[in-house]
Amino acid sequence: MRIFPAIDLKNGRCVRLYQGDFAQETVVNPDPIAQAKAFSEQGATYLHIVDLDGALEGKPINLDVIRSMKKAANLPVQVGGGIRHMKQVTFYLEEAGIDRVIIGSAALENPDFVRQAVTLYGDKIAVGIDAKNGFVATSGWLDVSTTDYLTFAKEVEKIGVQTIIFTDIAKDGTLEGPNLEQLQAMQQAVNVDIIASGGVSNKQDLEQLVQLGLYGAICGKALYNGNISMAEITEVENLAN
pLDDT (0 to 100) of residue 171: 67
pLDDT (0 to 100) of residue 123: 97
Assign 52 to helix, strand or coil. Answer: helix
pLDDT (0 to 100) of residue 142: 61
Q: What are phi and psi of 131, to 5 degrees?
A: -120, 145
Rounded to an integer, what distance in angstroms lies between the CA atom of residue 51 and that of residue 2?
21
Of 51, 53, 130, 172, catalytic: 130
Of 8, 168, 172, 205, catalytic: 8
Report residue 100 CA to chain centroid gap: 10
| DSSP β-bridge partners for residue 129 | 166
Q: How many CB atoms lie within 10 A of CB 85?
A: 16
Residue 106 and residue 112 in contact, taking contact as beta carbons nearer than 8 Å? no
3-state secondary structure 53-83: HHHHHCCCCCHHHHHHHHHHHCCCEEEECCC
Please state whether the predicted TM-score (pTM) of the whole model is above 0.85: yes
Report residue 44 CA to chain centroid gap: 15
CATH architecture of 2-240: Alpha-Beta Barrel (3.20)
Query: Residue 123 catalytic?
Result: no
Q: What are phi and psi of 176, to 5 degrees?
A: -100, 10
Outline where 18-143 has alpha helix (H): 32-41, 52-57, 63-73, 86-90, 105-109, 111-121
Tens digit of pLDDT at every position of the chain (241 positions): 999 999 999 988 999 876 666 667 788 899 999 999 999 999 999 999 999 888 888 778 898 999 999 999 999 999 999 899 999 999 999 999 999 999 988 899 899 999 999 999 999 999 999 888 889 987 655 677 789 999 999 999 999 999 999 998 876 666 788 999 999 999 999 999 999 998 899 999 999 999 999 999 999 989 999 999 999 999 998 887 7
Pairing of strands 21-29, 13-18: antiparallel
Assign 148 to helix, strand or coil. Answer: strand
Q: At what angle do helices 149-159 and 111-121 cross, to 10 degrees?
A: 40
CB burial readout 115-148, b (16+ within 10 A) else e:
bebbeebeebbbbbbbbbeebbbbebbeebbebe
Query: Residue 64 catalytic?
Result: no
